[in-house]
Structure 1
Amino acid sequence: MDVLIVGAGPTGLTLGIDLARRGVDALVVERAEALFPGSRGKGIQPRTQEVFEDLGVLDAIRAAGGPYPVRAIWKDGERIGEQPMFEPVEADESAPYTEPLMVPQWRTQEVLYARLVELGGRVAFGHELTGLEQDAEGVSARFADGSAVRARYAVAADGGRSAVRRALGVAMTGETVDPSPFLVADLRMTGLDREYWHTFPRPDGTGLALCPLAGTDDFQLAGKFPEGTEFDLSLDGVRRLVAAYTHLDAEDVTELRWASDFRPRAALADRFRVGRVFLAGDAAHVHSPAGGQGLNTSVQDAYNLGWKLGAVLKDGAPEPLLDTYEEERRPNAAAMLGLSTGVHRGEVQRGKATVQLGLGYPESALSEDRRAAPAGVRAGDRAPDGRVDGVRLFDAFRGPHWTLLGAPAAAAGVHALPAAPKSYGPGVFLVRPDGYVGWAGDSAEGLGAYLARAGVR
């Protein structure tokens, strides 16, 4: 086997899809007997929508969810105001998606799982990791049922309490974002319309919100409670909270589907790679849920790592290419942790800062700009959408290949278009499989050396 992926959350499933479409032999293993049942990470940011379009799941994701509603603010049983959730970000040809989608995490995972199976990928449920060792040739994993697996590489996508990370001895450095206890739950209820995200704040900063989950009959309860609160996660316990913090009666909550309590924390793994094992998603970084960055940053991890593993395992790219995963993703994760914490504390507004369209890798060893006077899009930037000779760029980018704008194809794994849109500025641009500009030049001179370094033949 080429790759063992531990964890069937959004990170592991996204990586499994990307590897499956590249013909990489990968297995996803999951401790639980089924996919995660809760709504926890419900925001799909615009950049993640672009990733999902490339992976062939965006239509299904859009059908599974919907837009975020306006927030309604309640006090003493009366609606006293409304507030949009996000600062508007104007869409244009370069960025067709600018509004987050609301999709409960369990539905996102169902869509990703269906796509993985469609591509021939596999998930082995009920496989709890009990041991992991590696040597110069690969990784050996052992499971609670007595089975074992051998793979050339392994990826920890098993969440904030990652068993793989603990087995590797990798520490996480972080801080408590908020000392108050929080609760999130999925429930069914009566007494509220589904047009608004209903919020019930208290003067001391505590309170709860009830958000209709797009594409379902459920509401998500999310609340911050006074220090020392002990939660009863039963239906009766949640009913008592709703009755205490809103004008609703306890009986208005008709069903409890899932509940979890937590204290918001921000933490970053000291390393994202140890030998043949990589950390991704919550195993590598833990966010406050504010701002909807955690799941999205995790998907970006998988999208970054997938093409690199594919290049090394299937295309003969040099093994040091895999070092750029930590080089690129760890600084981005650190920045997103700071952003999530800022949103949580009210220092950053949801909107342009949180849609992730401005993320890039300008300092990466894979970003090379050879133009005498770089202008417009630069190496390391996200490659914007646009049109060339009637061809939409995102259509041209779709698939596990590189794309060259402004020169003939220079290798078998590179698709070419005759020019770049004017919005890119002058030059020749090589777009990586994950939609970032890897190389730019005034002409194609020097491109061959870059492609060789990236393992493109």
Structure 2
Amino acid sequence: MLRISPKSFVAFCSGQRSPQSINIYKYTISRYIHTPAPKLATAMSSPKPVLIAGAGPTGLMAALWLSRLKTPFRIVDKHAFAANTSRATVVHARTLEYYRMLGLSDRAVSEGRVIEYLTFLSNRKQVVNRHFSEIGGDISNFPFVLVYPQDLNEQLMIGELESSGVKVEREIEVTDLTQRDDGVAVSLKNKDGHMEEFEASYVLGCDGGHSTVRTHTSIKSSPGTYSQRFFVADVEAEVSIGLRNVNICFNAEDFCLLFAMPNGRIRLVGWAPDEVTTENFTFADVEESVKRNSGANITKVHWFSTYKVHHGVAETFRDGRVFICGDAAHVHSPVGGQGMNTGLGDATNLAWKIAAVLADKAAPDILDTYQEERRPFAERLVNTTDKSFTIATDKGLMGKAWRTIVIGNIAPLLFQFGFLDTIMFQTVSQVRIDYIQSAMSDKNYAGTLYAGERLPWVKFEDGTDNFQPLTALNWQIHVYGTLDVEVKEWASQNNIALQNFPFNENMKSKRIPENSMILVRPDGYIGQLFQGPTKDSLHKLQSFVDKWGIKSF
């Protein structure tokens, strides 16, 4: 029989209870009222691994997050080798912020080429020249466009995974999926035709626009294709325009995009003449157009290709335990260099949530917020780039008017008076993406700052900033102003890291209320925020944590 000392009984009744004593007393009482005793805590059995299908940038980003959060996984790819061509070329500020969280931003910036200016040239006359640091220098630590091609992105992430003992399993493809209550039975085939049956907890389809994973789900996707054919080329050339710029060169008839690559070559993008076909289309067919728009004298062509642009968004990003990310979920025009960056954002959003659920550090319902948060953005992106792309590439009167009147005359005035600067940088850099409508945000706000927004970036006089703690990849409390002892106790009781920043005018300009406390998500977005540590706000914060089953990693 379990004996309880008088001293322990007095302590229990007076409220001085430890978790162990509570379990003991519940067990004792249960013997008399015939309710089952609570099970003593036991070590959790290891969850089934996550399967990532596709080792492009999206799949590799998901793998890095799962690896850092110690979540078991496999990453497979049907191709024998990683990308060896540049493909997508641009990395924006929000992606570099994610890379910084993973400790990769310094290397990416050193290996890439920093583009500092946005330049429009109409008939080779400069009409817009905006310095990115003047536009975004107070918004992000990365106020520029980084030319860092897809192959270098993949090499960066593969090297980081391999340093942690993780290797991509190549020439392995998914041939079938069968979902069950506790996982997914996946059929895998290697290059020799050998079949393997693998049990996964969840499957991430990061395998591109022609996703095999997606075909084995109920997810529907019917992307369209623009009729216009485009060209892309890597060349050597003599140029008179700036190579620290993204140069958008145009006239009434056509356009080309020109910027420098990290390897010293120049990237050209433009559209193909209507009269040529894929079979006989060569760089010679567009060389005169490129020279007319940019003044570039091409001395050597290293690579030349043509393509048609697809566009569309899958009806859903989830089917049970199967999720799709990146091009498997959405494809769109290359306007603004958004494609690869959007896939990397998808992976970041989803991976930490899966890791938390498998570690019993978040309720499974949190996985529903992946689609809630990422699909609306993908849909807006496709719609806006569709409109811009359709008008800008139109060869009729509408397109000519847009290029000559709007881009050539009206846009320069808007930039000159500052009407386009901030919104242009925030939109293209993806720092403006928010999850305010997510169920997890719960319409919570303080002042004009809302849960679901990216945590505003604040730089301090000593050169540090409030993004440095985000490398923990974990939930954390930020207090901007005076730290109340009750907040400190709450953070300690919930095992959530606490950061206290003295309030300054920069915070005020970023809409952060004085003495506010912000619960920051692992991906750097605001989970909840309150102005002032009142009992009501701490109660609401505790309710949020309890509702979503949030625990620190």
Q: TM-score, normalised by structure 2?
A: 0.73
Contact 1:401–1:413 under 8 Å retained in 2: no
Report SS of the residue matched to 2:216. helix
Q: Which moved more, 1:79-88 or 1:14-23?
A: 79-88
Counterpart of 1:269, as a letter, is: A
Given the alignment, which residue of 50, 53, 59 partners 1:12? 59
What whole-Å deviation, never above 9, does each CA across 1:307-349 have from its counterpart, x for those lacking one?
A: 1011011234221211111111111111222232244234897
Work out the percentage of aligned pairs sharing the same amino acid.
Answer: 27
Given the alignment, which residue of 76, 95, 113 partners 1:48? 95
What whole-Å deviation, never above 9, does each CA across 1:87-124 have from its counterpart, x for those lacking one?
A: 77634555322322111121112112212222333211
Offset, 1:275: 0.8
Q: How many residues in Structure 1 have an aligned counterpart in Structure 2?
A: 443
Offset, 1:289: 0.6
Distance 1:210 1:359, change over 3 A: closer
Distance 1:260 1:315, change over 3 A: farther
Contact 2:239–2:297 under 8 Å retained in 1: no
Q: Aligned residue for 2:328?
A: 283
Query: In structure 2, how many angstroms separate the alpha carbons of the residues matched to 1:37 and 1:315?
Result: 39
Contact 1:179–1:227 under 8 Å retained in 2: no
Distance 1:112 1:232, change over 3 A: farther
Given the alignment, which residue of 499, 507, 510 partners 1:417? 499
Query: In structure 2, how many angstroms separate the alpha carbons of the residues matched to 1:451 and 1:47?
Result: 26
Q: Aligned residue for 2:75?
A: 28
Q: Aligned residue for 1:306?
A: 351
* Matches for 1:21-420 after TM superposition, within 5 Å: 21-68=68-115, 71=119, 73=121, 79-81=124-126, 83-84=128-129, 90-92=135-137, 95-139=140-184, 140-145=186-191, 146-148=194-196, 149-176=198-225, 178-185=226-233, 187-192=234-239, 195-196=242-243, 201=250, 203-205=252-254, 207-213=255-261, 215-227=262-274, 229-232=276-279, 238-247=282-291, 252-256=299-303, 259-344=304-389, 345-346=391-392, 350-368=424-442, 374-386=446-458, 392-406=465-479, 407-408=487-488, 409-410=491-492, 414-418=496-500
Unpaired segments ≥5 residues, structure 1: none
Distance 1:241 1:375, change over 3 A: same
Query: In structure 2, how many angstroms separate the alpha carbons of the residues matched to 1:3 and 1:352?
Result: 33
Query: In structure 2, how many angstroms separate the alpha carbons of the residues matched to 1:265 and 1:380?
Result: 30
Report SS of the residue matched to 2:227. coil
Report SS of the residue matched to 2:135. coil
Higher Cα Rg, which structure: 2
Higher RCO (CA < 8 A, seq sep 6+): 1
Contact 1:191–1:252 under 8 Å retained in 2: yes
User: Pairwise CA RMSD of aligned residues?
Assistant: 3.0
Distance 1:400 1:352, change over 3 A: closer
Distance 1:300 1:246, change over 3 A: closer
Offset, 1:450: 1.4
Distance 1:365 1:292, change over 3 A: same
Q: TM-score, normalised by structure 1?
A: 0.87
Unpaired segments ≥5 residues, structure 2: 1-47, 393-401, 403-410, 412-419, 480-486
Query: In structure 1, how many angstroms separate the alpha carbons of the residues matched to 2:173 and 2:159?
Result: 22
Report SS of the residue matched to 1:354. helix
Query: 1 or 2, which has the higher helix percentage?
Result: 2
Q: Which moved more, 1:339-348 or 1:146-155?
A: 339-348
Given the alignment, which residue of 436, 448, 456 partners 2:542? 448
Given the alignment, which residue of 417, 432, 436 partners 2:521? 432
Contact 1:200–1:245 under 8 Å retained in 2: no
Report SS of the residue matched to 1:116. helix
Query: In structure 1, how many angstroms separate the alpha carbons of the residues matched to 2:371 and 2:127?
Result: 42
Report SS of the residue matched to 1:98. coil
Contact 1:165–1:279 under 8 Å retained in 2: yes
Contact 2:132–2:143 under 8 Å retained in 1: no
Contact 1:369–1:439 under 8 Å retained in 2: no
Contact 1:127–1:143 under 8 Å retained in 2: yes
Offset, 1:65: 1.1
Report SS of the residue matched to 1:303. helix
